[in-house]
Structure 1
Amino acid sequence: MTPFFVGRGKAGLVLGFDPRKTEAKQQFTSEGNSPSMSRNIPTINTRRLTLRAMRAEDFGRFAEIWAMPEVVTHISGKPRPKSQSWDAFLRNAGHWQITGFGQWAIEVHRQHQMAGQTGFFFGSRGLGDDFDPFPEAGWVLEPGSQGQGLGLEAVQAAHDWFDRVIAGRTVCMITPDNSGSLRIAREVGYVPLREAEFGGDVVQLLTRKGPVG
């Protein structure tokens, strides 16, 4: 049985994720029990960081980060309008509810505001069966928090949690000129999968096997 299932409850069609299964993949079956849609997002503390649930009051900072040209240089190259940031902010909240995983806000100790985000999501990017069905890792840090090893610290903590709670293969997508993110990906165990074209740009697809419980 796959970790995702679709069931029919009193309220109709329900989609859920069962973390007891061995690997997260974006597959669906037509049978199963209706899952709870209530998720508790864990808080993770490291030496210098807290990974925590995004809160409503984080949205202003979230939108500010995604509007920074330095942040989006290797992502889309275009600062994100506030309306698109709102869609992404809500999508992350829903992702935790539906799949049992998502992205955390990264907060540097004693700074009391978001410095970025990291975690996992299903991107449904249309890049093929060796990429799309698997949870995709992502990470973003605002410029003032870069160059201090905080990105690696956050990404490693997120993957440690994923390995313990979800387990299985993950993927990520990085532009070839983003040397910092490629270095982080290698440090946490990603290896090249293949190159692809996405949004008019050439990107490097990477994969990480991870433990299977």
Structure 2
Amino acid sequence: MQASRRAARDRRYSTFSGIPMISTDRLILRRPLLEDFEPYQQMWSDPDILRHIAPAPFSGEQMWTRFLRQEGGWQFFGFGYFVIEERSSGRFVGQVGFQELRREISPALTGTMETGWTIAPEVQGRGYASEAAQAAFGWAREHRAGRRVTAIVSPANLASIRIVEKLGMRPFAQTEYHDKPVTLFDYIL
């Protein structure tokens, strides 16, 4: 990427919104932009993405609300989701971060930083989820030390189980969410 394009991009992703920008060797974790909605919607429309996460496909309206919620978490809680951008191409490849969802689940996760990630199907298998999650956890350890992080993972989602284990998270409960079995993991930053 040319230096002038990189400088212009960095200005657009500035932290005026309070959302940090984090760089890794291959990725940039940054604030969501309106232009990210189209690839976000494509990612969340893929049945393979949904099989471990949602009981049914999201409507366009639901996806728009979910997309807007990414920035809102930062404003209300001081943490939220990042867009994951591939450094070499500048393309949207997914999302990673933390949220406070107040899910109707037992045991309750209210007051925790629930972590998660989603990687576009066309770039899965490259280690992007692990790299992005480790970078997000690095930020959280520095800026939210002492907070409890949780994750809800389907027992069938072996890739995400490997990532939460790599992050140092440990299982603490087996339960159901939307009538499907899930394992709850946690970690103190």
The TM-score, its normalising length taken from structure 1, stands at 0.77
Equivalent pairs, count = 173
Structure 1 residue 77: Cα displacement: 4.9
Structure 1 residue 113: Cα displacement: 2.2
- 2:103 aligns with one of 125, 128, 151: 125
- 1:198 aligns with one of 170, 177, 182: 177
| 2:43 counterpart of 1:65 | yes
Computed over aligned residues only, the root mean square deviation of the Cα atoms, in angstroms, reads 1.4
| Secondary structure in 1 matching 2:32 | coil
| Secondary structure in 1 matching 2:155 | coil
Structure 1, unaligned runs of 5 or more = 1-37
The TM-score, its normalising length taken from structure 2, stands at 0.87
| Secondary structure in 1 matching 2:62 | helix
- Determine which structure has more spread, i.e. the larger CA radius of gyration: 1
Question: Counterpart amino acid of 1:191?
Answer: R
Structure 1 residue 84: Cα displacement: 0.8
Once the two structures are superposed, what CA deviation does each residue of 1:78-115 show, in whole Å capped at 9, x if it has no partner?
33221111000111111111111100000111222211
- What residue is the counterpart of 1:160 in the other structure? 138
| Secondary structure in 1 matching 2:186 | strand
Structure 1 residue 41: Cα displacement: 0.7
Counterpart CA distance in 1 for 2:29 and 2:17 is 16
Question: Counterpart amino acid of 2:131?
Answer: E
Q: 1:57-136 to 2 correspondence within 5 Å?
A: 57-128=35-106, 131-136=109-114
- 1:189 aligns with one of 160, 168, 171: 168
Greater Cα offset, 107-116 or 55-64 = 107-116
Structure 2, unaligned runs of 5 or more = 1-15
Structure 1 residue 132: Cα displacement: 2.3
| Secondary structure in 2 matching 1:51 | strand
Once the two structures are superposed, what CA deviation does each residue of 1:49-98 show, in whole Å capped at 9, x if it has no partner?
00010001111111111001111111115332211110001111111111
Question: Which structure dedicates a bigger proportion of its chain to helix?
Answer: 2
| 2:147 counterpart of 1:171 | no
